[in-house]
Amino acid sequence: MRAVNPLYRLHDLAYRTQYAQIKERTYAVGTLLRGTPGTLYKRAGTGHEYWYRVYYPVPGKQGEEFVGSAADDAARRAMEDRIAHAEWVVEQVRNLRKLGYQVADKGVASVLVELHNRTLFDSGLVVVGTLAYMSWLNEYGAIAIAARPLKLPGKEGLRVNVLAPGPEIGGTIAIPELEWHAQTIPYYDYMLEDSQRAVVLAGGHCIPVSLPNAQRMVWHKLYSSTDAARSPDKKAKDILQAVTLAAILVEQEDLSLKKSFLAAPAPLQAAALSQRQRIQSFLQPHPQTAAEFAALPE
């Protein structure tokens, strides 16, 4: 198979600046509001009046958040500011979606907002997989093909895979910090080293997260694309995402693939070399990246 069109193109500079602005303002906010921005309502009860934020945590389901007493002007003003910021973010994310930025759905947003508010990304949790790939596209201001990351098995259910390093694919180990169990992935610890701060656009939110180092993602995805247990569709997705990220890094960041290749574990190097022919089939519109892969040492 030969790629006729380039694997990616860049957003206009004005759109990349818009993305950088929402990212910068999000970093300064701290705790994010759950669900929709909502509206302030004053309610009376037991002879007293109180402010509440009324919002929708998920579509069709209303929720309330206590703000303070009617006399607490500081609490009311602080919530008004937070709502105003959230409304601004919703508008910015909506515009970026129309411009071709990668935006995950509201179910993904609800999970990531909760994880962010609990400071789990500051404690070492990292977003991986296609959601990380989508976010790196946004970070580099690139438009490319991306599959949807998470599946909704029911009306309100959301399946989230928790992964951890392990010697075999699909094993199970306990994660006491999360009171949960994780599936093991070989060389997962390699991919999580040197994780980097970024944001995920999801629903109407911009959420600070940690992402794997993009160079390490390239080699780990090429390794995953050789896993016999994965379906052909998933293996094809892995290699497409790997070569697209590689092309962006080489052409937009002037990075040499050789250095990160030599730093990767030997099985990941072997997997990349075994895929050379398939890799080159994607890179006809990207001669610089094709040359980088061709120059990798045996």
- Residue 297 inside a domain? The answer is yes
pLDDT at 78: 96
- Residue 195 inside a domain? The answer is no
- Characterize the bridge pairing of strands 180-185 and 163-165: parallel
- Residue 232 inside a domain? The answer is yes
pLDDT at 152: 41
- Residue 277 inside a domain? The answer is yes
Compute CA distances 115 → 127, 165, 250, 266, 289, whole Å.
Answer: 11, 20, 33, 34, 36
Q: What is the mean pLDDT of residues 83-87?
A: 97
First-to-final CA distance of the chain = 24
Report how many domains make up the chain: 1
pLDDT at 159: 57
- Residue 121 inside a domain? The answer is no
- Residue 289 inside a domain? The answer is yes
pLDDT at 289: 97
Domain that holds residue 277: 216-298
Instruction: Bin 50: left if φ > 0, else alpha if -120 < ψ < 50, else beta.
Output: beta
- Residue 271 inside a domain? The answer is yes
- Residue 279 inside a domain? The answer is yes
Task: Please give the model's pTM, rounded to 2 decimal places.
Answer: 0.88
Residues 221-273: pLDDT tens digits?
999 899 887 889 989 999 999 999 999 999 999 999 999 999 999 999 999 99
